[in-house]
């Protein structure tokens, strides 16, 4: 039977053997990458919605190069400054002599929130100042709840909520916990047989990124008799929702929707300011916005293509180059750097030929498409089912073919389109529309707006048991002929002059002369 003293001796030896590797483990810190590449993928289900300004719903593949001094034996290598949206299971580290034994994402950051979270169930100091006497009082308390929704602490007087007493308060912590990092960090455990300098490559996926195209289409004034043309320019707009900037980075964007296995939303690191629930010391204008009291603010829109306009002649920044002048003179003033398009299997890759800085909580715009003299047709469109009785203005679109003959012939990623028309005051905004992804050979249509000069009225003439007889009338008050396409979303009885089937829908195509009108009589089958 083992005696108590012998048992204690065995336990001591066991603990010593377990502690030895920990004691021998050395800490190696890499505070920043020496080189970084970012490949950004669009949010897969965003559609025509703008980029989420608070936390973009796309993702990025980030590759970092770091050089470290690796000691002999066991080491914990800390990669500081990784993206806070990192998926740690996707992280791959190459360049370590014996590979990675263990990896951990440190999700707690040095911040007011992070400190409170680290000191839960621990003692801190609270100092309060009486505004009437100016006297301060310090007492030790225990944090029992926080940081989300406020901070609750226990003192000799009972339980209290921080900043709800009416007195100025400050909380003091004894020290910064060792597991709190000022930056998002990935830690890996490795072993080296000898001391060396190692160049490592860290590759991982991260959420909180997105991109879209922002087009500017400027309609050109053409001599009489020549085909209408427009200059088409597009920004590559990249968004980084995290708190980490990526300086002097190689940047690429992927167009298309690669298959991606579903992941749970990545928990964002604990960081930021404390969110309190009461403010007895503050004035109304000092109280932060609370969605419980007011309707939600609309999300900040993505930077419009015009946002870079130098209306006052001030200096502007375009892909790290400064230029002066009016941006609405289209492509030539902004084409100092243009993203280069490449094939990536069935996807399209846009590579920025210069290194750029992708700022934290910011957006970057780089020229990606410059296509002058694109041929198009202006077509006025309507659906007969949308009108009845008095005339209503028709919408008009700019239609082109994505081929070299029309001045295109390149893949066009989805994005917003701002259309400008020339005037005596220069180019003015005529309307905005959306452009879906368009491959080479596809038809391109940009919805611009409505025209009060081209109008449609649809009236029912008579009705029988099996037929409803209608008349559509289009008037043109413009100084030149216009092309009109009117869909009839019903089954037509018999034949109607000028009506043809387009995508399975009866459509009236007609050219209406200047200051004239055109009419169509047609019958609809009743069921």
CATH of the domain at 482: 2.60.40
459 occurs within a structural domain: yes
**Position 401 in a domain:** yes
Task: Taking residues 292-314, report their average pLDDT.
Answer: 37
What does pLDDT average to over the chain?
A: 78
Q: Which two tokens stand for residue 343?
A: 């094939």
Residue 95 makes CB contacts below 8 A (sequence gap 6+) with 198, 199, 200, 201
| 16 inside domain | no
Q: What is the pLDDT of residue 504?
A: 86
Q: Report DSSP letters for 195-238, one per residue.
A: -EEEEEEEEEEEEEEEEEEEEEEEEPP--TTSPPEEEEEEEEEE
How much is the average pLDDT of 323-339?
48
Quick one: residue 461, left, alpha or beta (phi over 0 = left, psi -120 to 50 = alpha)?
Answer: alpha
φ/ψ of residue 64, rounded to 5:
-120, 145
- Lowest mean per-residue pLDDT among 207-221, 312-326, 356-370, 409-423: 312-326
Q: What end-to-end distance do the CA atoms of the chain give, in Å?
A: 98
How far, in Å, CA of 298 to CA of 50, rounded?
11
- Which of the two residues, 209 and 272, has the higher pLDDT score? 209
Q: What percent of the chain has pLDDT over 90?
A: 36
The model's pLDDT over 153-183, given as tens digits with 9 standing for 90+, comes to: 777 777 877 777 667 777 777 776 666 666 7
Give the least confident one: 62-76, 107-121, 513-527.
107-121
Give the count of beta carbons closer than 10 Å to the beta carbon of residue 195. 10
pLDDT band at residue 312, thresholds of 50, 70 and 90? very low
**Least confident segment among 168-177, 215-224, 285-294, 352-361:** 285-294
pLDDT surpasses 90 at 63: yes
Identify any residues that bridge with 322 across adjacent strands, giving them in sequence order.
Answer: 317
The predicted-structure confidence for 3-19, as pLDDT tens digits, reads as follows 545 544 554 444 444 44
* Residue 132 is assigned to a structural domain of this protein: yes
- CB-based contacts of 491, cutoff 8 Å, min separation 6: 524, 525
Query: What is the reported pLDDT for 106?
Result: 63
Residue 517 lies inside a defined structural domain of this protein? yes
| Residue 350, CA distances (Å) to 343, 507, 510 in order | 9, 38, 41
Number of domains in the chain: 2
For 464-514, what is each residue's pLDDT tens digit?
A: 888 889 999 999 999 999 999 999 988 888 788 889 888 888 999 999 999
More confident residue, 523 or 316: 523
Question: CB atoms < 10 A from the CB of 276, how many?
Answer: 18
Q: How many residues does the chain have?
A: 527
Q: What is the mean pLDDT of residues 224-250?
A: 90
CB atoms within 10 A of CB 48: 12
**HSE value, Cβ hemisphere, 13 Å, CA-based, for 232:** 26
Q: Is residue 239 part of a domain?
A: no
Q: Residue for token digits 């216009």?
A: 482
Per the CB < 8 A criterion, the answer to whether 214 and 307 are in contact is no
> Which among 426, 320, 325 is positioned nearest to 367, based on CA atoms?
320
Please name the residue ranges forming H helices in 102-207: 112-118
Please indicate, yes or no, if residue 285 is contained in any of the structural domains.
no
Residue 397 confidence (pLDDT) above 80: yes
Q: Which of the pair, 210 or 129, is modelled with greater confidence?
A: 210
The boundaries of the domain holding residue 150 are 120-172
pLDDT of 311: 34
Q: What is the largest CA-CA distance in the chain?
A: 114
Q: Which residues of 5-25 are buried (b: 16+ CB within 10 A; e: fewer)?
A: eeeeeeeeeeeeeeeeeeeee
Place of tokens 């993206």: 83
> Considering the domain boundaries, does residue 153 fall inside one?
yes
- What pLDDT, on the 0 to 100 scale, is given for residue 498? 84
Q: Give yes or no for a contact between 512 and 518, defined as CB atoms under 8 angstroms apart.
A: yes
pLDDT at residue number 224: 76
Q: Band of the pLDDT at 132, cuts 50, 70, 90?
A: confident
Q: What is the pLDDT of residue 47?
A: 81
**What's the pLDDT score for residue 39?**
95
Strand partners, 78: 29, 187
pTM for this structure? 0.69
Query: In the predicted model, is pLDDT for residue 66 greater than 70?
Result: yes
Task: Name, in order, each residue with C-beta under 8 angstroms of 455's C-beta and a sequence gap of 6 or more.
Answer: 391, 392, 393, 394, 474, 475, 477
Cα 215 from Cα 211, distance rounded (Å) = 13
């Amino acid at each position: 039977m083992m005696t108590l003293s012998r048992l204690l001796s065995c336990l001591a030896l066991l603990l010593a053997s377990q502690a030895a590797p920990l004691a021998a483990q050395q800490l190696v810190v890499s505070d920043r990458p020496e080189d970084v590449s970012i490949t950004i993928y669009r949010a897969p289900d965003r559609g025509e919605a703008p980029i989420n300004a608070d936390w973009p719903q796309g993702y990025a593949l980030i590759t970092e190069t770091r050089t470290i001094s690796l000691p002999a034996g066991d080491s914990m290598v800390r990669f500081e400054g990784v993206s806070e949206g990192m998926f740690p299971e996707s992280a791959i580290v190459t360049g370590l002599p014996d590979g990675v034994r263990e990896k951990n994402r440190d999700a707690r950051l040095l911040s007011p929130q992070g400190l409170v979270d680290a000191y839960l169930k621990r003692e801190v100091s609270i100092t309060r100042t009486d505004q009437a006497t100016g006297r301060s009082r310090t007492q030790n308390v225990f944090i029992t709840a926080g940081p989300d929704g406020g901070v609750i602490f226990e003192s000799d007087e009972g339980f209290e909520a921080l900043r709800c007493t009416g007195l100025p308060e400050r909380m003091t912590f004894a020290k910064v916990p060792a597991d709190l990092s000022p930056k998002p960090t990935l830690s890996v455990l490795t072993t080296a047989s000898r001391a060396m300098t190692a160049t490592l490559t860290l590759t991982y996926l991260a959420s909180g990124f997105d991109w879209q195209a922002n087009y500017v289409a400027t309609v050109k004034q053409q001599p009489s008799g020549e085909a209408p043309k427009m200059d088409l320019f597009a920004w590559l707009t990249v968004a980084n929702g995290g708190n980490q900037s990526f300086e002097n980075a190689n940047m690429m964007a992927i167009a298309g929707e690669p298959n991606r296995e579903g992941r749970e939303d990545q928990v964002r690191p604990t960081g930021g300011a404390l969110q309190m629930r009461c403010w007895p010391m503050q004035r109304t204008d000092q109280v932060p916005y609370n969605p419980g009291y007011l309707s939600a603010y609309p999300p900040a829109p993505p930077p419009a293509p015009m946002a870079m306009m130098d209306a006052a002649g001030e200096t502007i920044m375009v892909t790290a180059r400064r230029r002066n002048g009016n941006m609405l003179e289209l492509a030539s003033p902004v084409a100092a750097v243009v993203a280069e398009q490449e094939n990536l299997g069935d996807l399209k890759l846009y590579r920025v030929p210069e290194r750029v800085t992708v700022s934290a909580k910011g957006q970057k715009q780089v020229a990606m498409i410059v296509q002058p003299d694109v041929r198009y047709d202006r077509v006025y469109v309507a659906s007969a089912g949308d009108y009845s009785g008095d005339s209503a203005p028709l919408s008009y679109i700019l239609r082109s073919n994505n081929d070299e003959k029309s001045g295109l012939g390149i893949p066009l990623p989805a994005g917003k389109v701002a259309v400008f028309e020339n005037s005596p005051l220069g180019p003015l905004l005529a309307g905005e529309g959306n452009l879906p992804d368009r491959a080479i050979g596809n038809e391109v249509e940009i919805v611009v707006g409505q025209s009060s000069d081209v109008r449609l009225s649809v009236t029912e003439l008579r009705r029988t048991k099996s037929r409803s007889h209608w008349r559509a009338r289009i008037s043109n008050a413009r100084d030149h002929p216009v092309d009109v396409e009117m869909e009839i979303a019903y089954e037509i009885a018999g034949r109607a002059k000028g009506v043809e089937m387009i995508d399975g829908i009866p459509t009236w195509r007609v050219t209406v002369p200047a200051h004239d009108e055109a009419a169509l009589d047609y019958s609809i089958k009743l069921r």
